Every structure is written in structure tokens, then in C-alpha cells.
Structure 1
Amino acid sequence: MDFKPVERVSGAFQQSLTAEEIQQVCRQVFGVTTAPLSAVELGAGMYNNVYRVTLAGQPKPVILRAAPPESRQFRSERHLMRNEHAAQPWLAGIARLMPQILAADWSHQVIARDWMIQTHLDGVPAPQHLGTYSRTAWPAFFRQLGVITRSVHDVQGPHFGSVGGPGHRTWSETVIASLEEIAADLDEAGLDAADVRKVAAVAAHEHAVLDEITEPRLLTGDLWTVNALMDPTAPEPVITGVLDFDRCLFGDPAADWTIRMAGAKPDERTAFWESYGAPDRSAAAVWRAAVYEARHLGAIRLERHRLAKSDAVEESYGAMAEVLSALT
């Protein structure tokens, strides 16, 4: 097998599978007669290890994704791949845009990590292709993203919290628990978590504002340009696929990463709201958005620490201080 892993520094968070491990997974799923001819690691993601695997006798490659070893997972990111697997039936409205799961294994009997094999989607990653169009064409992309996001957010769930459960009875319990998990992860990483705990305390004190959200809706968790594929030959931007729904949860759609990014800049992305619908600008919604921003910033701090970006970690404290000021 021709094996091309991503070269990483020693001690990096992501650790590649070995060629033998990839072969073991393929034998488990496809048998000994359909051998992997090549495995190329795709370096765009920052959490799972992802490989494009070409199989003997098969016209199209498949995608193998391997979760980090459990010992390396933050508690706020525990079993994300299992959560994505549980979310598939809830994402039926956009199934035409998503890869199909061919096999998944949480037993660790084949390799000592959770793994999943999916169909390979055609298309070019949006960060690579959107810029080939004139900026006057970009709003078409964001309008499509608004349609996709609205389709997800229209799904009502059975509880608040991660799709795979266990769930929470109220939205405030979900938000506070998430902030406390992030704070505990920061503690274990040796980082100051006092500001995240202050946000959790404010959220607990003002829980009634959070609990105005009474219907748990499905959130994409992480959908934005980096997780979208595009038609490489279309005369205008066309989204052909969306990926990586491992951070799906049930809650307030305004807490979704997609909503945060759609409102981040007054540029072409404002077309998102034309198809999605206008955001809630009430005082309560603005206050909740500040809590959600604090949750995002806490998660971003952990990710920056994981990527050894110490300067960016330090910057997160100033951003969090501004959010705390707005909340209090």
C-alpha cells in the first residue's frame, strides 16, 4: 500500500495511524480480497485523522476517519465521532449533501481508536474554490449555506444537549454544564479558567433568560466554509457537500457556530440571512448571544492550546474580558 501520512512534529495532538492499522481496518470492513492500494492523509482537519483510501477493484475511494485516542480527548469533546454517528438520522433533510457511513467501530478491537468509514464526496473544499469567483458571486454561496442551516435548525429534538445523550432537561443546564466542562479542561491543560467560571456563574444566576428557549432544535455544531464542498466547474458558487457534524447538539439555534460566523462581519456573508431568516435582536437574545460567544471563546482557547498557539491562547483572555463586561 502506498501510504502518505501528514508529517507532524513530535508530540503533536494529532497522531497518524500506521499503514498496518489502516490495512487492518480495511480488512475488517471489506475483507481480504479488497485490499487498500493507497492511503493519503488529508491535513485540513484539526481533530480527527482523515484518510482518502483507494481500494482494489473499486471505482471510487472511501474516507477513513480516526478519532484521537480517548486519553487525548478533552471532556468537553468526548466521543465526538459517536455523537456524529448518532446524529445521522436527525440530518435526513440534508442527507443528499452528506457522505454515507459505510462502517463504524467503537469497540477498539481492531485499532485502539474510534473509527468510521464514509463514502467519498466529489467537490472542492470551499476555502480553496470560493475565491476563484468574483466577490460579487459570493452571496450565492452564503444563501445556500443559509438554506442548509435552516433545514437543520427546523428539526426538533427530544432533549437538550449532545445528540448522543445523555441530555438535559433545560437549556440553561446544558449551557452551564458545557461551560463547566470547558473550565475543567482548561484546568487540566494548566490554563487559567477563572473567566469561563465567571460566565458560568452569571449564566446560573440569570438562568431564566436561557430557559426562555424551551424547544431543543438541532444545531450543526461546526458548519461553515471549511466544512463545505463546491462544484469545481459551475459558473457560480454551488455547494455540493457538507461535512463533519460531530459537534451536533440540541439547543438554541442562535448558539450554533454557523450563526456566530454568519454575523461576524458585514460582508458577503450577510446574504446568509436572506435565506435563513432574520436573527432575533431582542435584549434577551443579545444577552444569550454573549453567553454563547463566551462558550465559543472557551472552546477556541482549548483548540489553540491543542495546536500550541500560545499567543492566540493569550489573546482569548482579552476577548473573554469584553464578553464578561457585556454580560455583567
Structure 2
Amino acid sequence: MDFRPIPRDPEAFQQPVTAEDIDAIALRAFGRTVRVTSAVELGGGMYNNTYRLVADGLDGPVILRIAPAPARQFASEHELMRNEYATVPFLAPLAGLVPRVLAADWSQEITGRDWIVQSHLDGMPAPDRLGDYPRPLWQGFFAKLGTITKDIHAVAGPRFGPVAGPGYATWSEAVLASLSAIADDVSRIGLDAADVRKAADLAAEHHKVLDEITEPRLLTGDLWTVNTMLAAAPTPVISGVLDLDRTLWGDPAADWTIRMASAKTDERTAFWDTYGPCATSPTSTWRSLVYEARHLGAIRLERHRLHNSNGVRDTYTSMAAVLTQLT
């Protein structure tokens, strides 16, 4: 096997597996008629380890994604790969854009970690390709992203919370559970979580404002440019959508995609041409601040995981500004 893992520091969050592990995974997924000839680890992702596999017995390359070991996962990011797997039946609006699941194993018998094998999507990651186009053409990309997000948000669910569970009867319960889990994770790694807990307290105090949201809708969790593939075309054409592992049922305004589309006034404003306008009212504005507090808490955890101390520090400044507005 031509095995090419990404060299990583022993203290890095992402840790590779061995060539023997990949052979064992291929045997379990495809049987003895398939022999892996190449396993190349792909960069770009910051959570799972991802490998492009080429094998005798398969028609083309496939993608192997391996989750972090359970002990390395935050409680607020518990079993994200299983959450993505549970989301697959609800992704019919994205047929042709999302990879097909070819095999999945939660037994952890081979690597001590969950893993999934998916079909290989053609194209290049948008972060590597979008900059090759003149910026005026980016509007078409963001307009398509608006259509994709609108289609996902149109999917109604049975309850609030992560798609794989746990589920909650009300939106406020789901938001509070998420904020509490994030706060516990922040405390567990030795950082000050008082601001996240304050946001949770304010959300609990005004839970009726959150519970104006009564219909759970499917949220992408973290869809943005880094989760898309672009086709080889004269304009930026989205050919694939990846890594929908943070999906949940809730208020579309709470989605990461909405946060990012709102962050700047540039080519991304084309997103709203296809997605449509978001509701604006005093209560929706207040809810958006709670959602921002939740995003900032999750960002703090990710930046800590990446050893970005300056980025961690910045989240405290941003959170203080949010709490000022919430109170």
C-alpha cells in the first residue's frame, strides 16, 4: 500500500491510524475481493481524519473518515459522525450533492474509533478553488449556497436537538442543553466558562422568547465554503456538500450558515437573493444574540483544540459584547 498520512505532533488533536488499520477497515467494509493500494490522508478538515482510498476491486476512489477517539471528544461534540449518519435520510433535497454511505462501523473494534466509508465526490474543495475566479463571479456561488441552505431548512423534524438525539420537546430546552454542555467542556479544559453560563442563565430566564420557535427545522450545523466542492467550470459551481455532522433540529436562524452569511457585506449578500430575508423583530434579534453566544462557546473549544490561544482570548471579548446586549 502507498500509505501517506499527514505528519502530526503527538499533542495534536487529530491522530492518524496505521496502514494495518486501513487494511482491516477495508476488509470489513468490502470483503476479501478488495485490496487497498493507496491511502492518502487529506488535509482541510480539523476534526475527523480523512483518507482517499484507491483499491483493486473498486471502480474508483472512496473516502474513509475516522472519528476522534471517544476520550478526545467534547461532550458538546459527542459522536458527531453518528449524528451525520442519522441525518442521511433527511438529506433527500441534496441528492447528488452529498456523498453516499458505503459502510459504517461504530463497534470501535479495529481502531477504537468510529469510521465511515463514503463515495468520492468530484471537484475541488471550495477554499482551494474559489479564489481562482474573479470576485464578481463569487456571487453565483453564494446564491447557490443560499438555495442549498433554504432546501435544508425546509425539512421539518419530530423534535428539537441533535438529529441523533437527545431530543427535546421545546427549543429552549435544546438551546439550554447545548449551552450547558459547552460550558462544562470549557470548564473541563481549565478555561473560564462563566460567560457561557451567564448566557445560559439569561436564555433560561427568557425561555419563552426561545419557545416562540415551535416547529423544528433541519439545521446544517456548520455549512459554509469549507464544506463545499466546486466543479471544473468557468464559473463557481457547487458539485458537493460535505461533513454535515453537526446537524440539529431547531430554529434556522441559529444555523452557522446564517451567521456566516450575515457576517460581511460583500459577495456573500447574494446568499439572501435565493434564501430570502430573515425575520426581524425585537424577539428574533434577542434570540440571535443567544445563538451567537452558543457559536462563540463552540469556537472557543475549537480554538483551544487547535492551540490558538489568541483566538481563545478573542472569544471572551466577543462574548462580553454579546452579554452586554443580552442584558
Q: Same fold (TM over 0.5)?
A: yes
Q: In structure 1, the residue corresponding to 2:311 is in which secondary structure?
A: helix
Give matches, 1:174-185, under 5 Å. 174-185=174-185
- Matched residue type, 2:251: D
Letter in 2 for 1:29: A
**For the Cα contact (< 8 Å) 2:33–2:57, is it kept in 1?**
no
Map 1:18-57; keep pairs closer than 5 Å.
18-57=18-57
Q: Give the superposition deviation at 1:110.
A: 2.7
Query: Which stretch of the first structure deviates more once superposed, 53-62 or 214-223?
Result: 53-62
Deviation at 1:229, TM superposition (A): 0.4
Between the aligned partners of 1:175 and 1:202, the Cα distance in structure 2 is 11
The one-letter amino acid paired with 2:35 is: A
Superposed structure 1 runs of 4+ greater than 4 Å apart: none
Q: Tell me, what secondary structure is at the counterpart of 1:326? A: helix
SS in 2 for 1:97: coil
Structure 1 residue 130, shift from structure 2 partner? 1.0
C-alpha displacement at 1:281, in angstroms?
1.6
Distance in 1 separating the partners of 2:58 and 2:180? 47
Deviation per CA, 1:83-127, whole angstroms, max 9, x where unpaired? Answer: 000000011110210000000010112321100000000011111
**C-alpha RMSD of matched pairs (Å):** 0.7
Counterpart of 1:46, as a letter, is M
Alpha-carbon distance between aligned partners in 1 of 2:269 and 2:45, rounded to the nearest angstrom = 26
Equivalence for 2:267: 268
Cα distance in 1 for residues equivalent to 2:278 and 2:254: 12
1:204-219 equivalences under 5 Å are: 204-219=204-219
Residue 286 of structure 1 pairs with residue 285 of structure 2: yes
* 1:77-116 correspondence runs (5 A): 77-116=77-116
Write the distance in 2 (CA, Å) between the matches of 1:224 and 1:322.
Answer: 25
User: Structure 1 residue 261: deviation in Å?
Assistant: 0.2
Query: Residues 89-168 of structure 1 correspond to what in structure 2 (within 5 A)?
Result: 89-168=89-168
Q: Which secondary structure does the structure 2 equivalent of 1:104 belong to?
A: strand
* Structure 1 CA distance for aligned equivalents of residues 57 and 208 of structure 2: 59
Which amino acid letter does the alignment assign opposite residue 297 of structure 1?
A: L
Structure 2 letter corresponding to 1:124:
M
- Read off the aligned partner of 1:178 and give its amino acid letter: S
In the TM superposition, what is the alpha-carbon distance from 1:163 to its structure 2 partner?
A: 0.4
Tell me how far apart the structure 2 counterparts of residues 33 and 148 of structure 1 sit (CA, whole Å).
38
Unpaired runs of 5+ residues, structure 2, are none
What percent of counterpart residues are identical? 61
How far apart, CA to CA, are the structure 2 residues paired with 1:256 and 1:95?
A: 21
Deviation of the 1:59 alpha carbon = 3.2
**Which residue does 1:297 correspond to in 2?**
296
C-alpha distance after superposition, 1:184-216 (max 9, x if no partner): 001110000000000000000010100000000
What is the TM-score with the length of structure 1 in the denominator?
A: 0.99
Distance 1:95 1:70 in 2: 31
Counterpart residue type for residue 46 of structure 2? M
- Assess if the C-alpha contact under 8 Å between 2:17 and 2:111 holds in 1: no
- The residue identity in structure 2 corresponding to 1:127 is P
SS in 2 for 1:96: coil
Instruction: Determine the C-alpha separation between the residues in 2 that align with 1:118 and 1:10.
Output: 28
Q: What secondary structure, in the 3-state scheme, does the structure 2 residue paired with 1:83 have?
A: helix
Q: Which residue of 2 aligns with 1:316?
A: 315
Shift of 1:315: 1.0
Alignment pair present for 1:251 and 2:246: no
Amino acid in the other structure paired with 1:107: S
Is 1:277 the counterpart of 2:262 in the alignment?
no
1 CA distance for matches of 2:255 and 2:164? 17
Matches of 1:309 and 1:221, distance apart in 2? 22
Counterpart of 2:227 in structure 1 is 227
Q: CA deviation at 1:252?
A: 0.2
